[in-house]
Amino acid sequence: MRRTIDWVDGAVVVIDQTALPGAFRLLELRTVGELVDAVRRLAVRGAPALGAAGALGVALAAQAGGDVRQDAELIAHARPTAVNLAWGVARALAKLDEGPDAVLAEALALLDEDELLNETASKHAAEVVLAACPRRPLRLLSHCNAGRLATVGWGSALGVVWHLHERGLVEEVLVDETRPLLQGARLTAWELAQADVPYRVQPDGAAAAAMARGLVDCVLVGADRIAANGDVANKIGTYGLAIAAKHHGVPFVVVAPSSTVDESLPDGAGIAIEERDAGELTEYAGVPITPPDAGVFNPAFDVTPHDLITAVVTEHGVFRGAGRSPVRRRSP
């Protein structure tokens, strides 16, 4: 399957990201309920891919009839942090008065655009990385998964690796395992292996030590929502990674399509942070790994202030941020 998510014979077809790397499995989603379930359990994930899921979900609803706007609301709120999900829903829903075929055409156009925009954004970001990092070939560090699995078919932050690898400029990628669902170890490592890019998986807690030992030339991450001033919400652990990179003088580059920018939020303080089920931390493969009464703090994302970020790059180039409001950090 060339794309992570696509429309095939009246169904939304996705690569089941919960099955990788053990099995490559496709899911055919034929109802809005099936699509929402796939989004919530992370069978399809990544901000750009969620934008596509939102648009295709509205197309499913329009083809089925019924209360399309109610179905659209259900899809848009399946996960709260990634702005692309609601954006994709709104874009397809805007064509509803023109009929189901127009809704589907708009969703399919979004798929084509996503591939192009992410390839363009990552190409711009590759030049930013090369300007910031004199060493060749490069040792890069990634967190979570921002490859083609997180998009329709190319990748955002990991797309930078594809561009640089084609030019023989990548020595190695250090892959944060990315707790608690291991999107780095399961998904990013799988993508790098498929592309024959040298990599090593490391525990999240090793990132700062790797920087201290001089093993990292640049950190590359994606984004689930970018505030108007350039604050970035991304997978939990990104904020700490940015603090470590700042301390060690390592460039920290964020790559995302402009659809991830939420101009309605002046800064990151207004970004809703999804909290995941406690079982993701208290169990492993169905086996309890904590005391039965253990409390859990399991945010899916954190917010990295713009002053810790070297550059946010979209398909338009470096995103400068509007207003650059002061960075606010809460006291304990």
Nearest to 38 by CA among 22, 24, 26: 26
Cis before 137 (ω within 30): yes
Catalytic residue, candidates 6, 114, 217, 224 = 224
| Summary count for the chain: helices (H), strands (E) | 11, 16
**Under 8 Å between Cβ of 64 and 29:** no
Token code pair at residue 137: 């070939």
Q: Which residues contact 283 (CB under 8 A, 6 or more apart)?
A: 289
Which has the closest alpha carbon to 152: 46, 61, 232?
Answer: 46
Q: Which residue has the tokens 């109610």?
A: 70
Residues linked to residue 141 through DSSP beta bridges, in sequence order: 174, 219
* Distance set, CA 68 to CA 103, 105, 326 (Å): 11, 16, 41
Tell me whether strands 170-176 and 317-319 are parallel, antiparallel or unpaired.
unpaired
> Residue 189 contacts by C-beta under 8 Å, 6 or more apart in sequence?
21, 175, 199, 201
Is there a catalytic annotation at residue 224? yes
DSSP codes joined into one string, 102-157: HHHHHHHHHHHHHHHHHHHHHHHHHHHHHHH--SSSEEEEE-S--SGGGSSSS-SH
- Residues with catalytic roles: 224
